[in-house]
Amino acid sequence: MTRIVWTLEAISDLESVRDFIGRTSPHYGNVVAASLVESMDRIMDFPRSGRIVPELQREDTREVIHGLYRIVYRLLDDERVAEVLTVLRSSRPFPLV
């Protein structure tokens, strides 16, 4: 089973999504944030089920698309770890740095 680890940047991104939506509805902000976290559950059993990030074209860097968001992760340690790198709205350009 693959362990999911969230980087500080990804946690900050998730909190930003929650806070932005929470300005209008704190409850819905929490619901969306929880839903984004839960969308990564399948990676524990199927680490390669996310698609390859088109901008990078690397086998080890993949993403889960959930609603309007992209959750980008990198597979490490022979797929025993999935490191979540960022959460971003799919309409925003992908940060290549």
> Is the model's pTM score more than 0.75?
yes
Tell me the DSSP string of 11-27. Answer: HHHHHHHHHHHHTT-HH
| CATH number for the domain formed by residue range(s) 3-89 | 3.30.2310.20
Which pLDDT score, from 0 to 100, does residue 49 have?
A: 97
Which pLDDT score, from 0 to 100, does residue 94 have?
A: 85
Which pLDDT score, from 0 to 100, does residue 97 have?
A: 56
The side-by-side arrangement of strands in the sheet containing 81-89 is: 3-6, 81-89, 69-76, 61-66, 51-52
pLDDT (tens, 9 = 90+) of the chain, 97 residues, equals 999 999 999 999 999 999 999 999 999 999 999 999 999 999 999 999 999 999 999 999 999 999 999 999 999 999 999 999 999 999 988 887 5
Provide the token pair at 37: 């976290």
Which pLDDT score, from 0 to 100, does residue 32 have?
A: 97
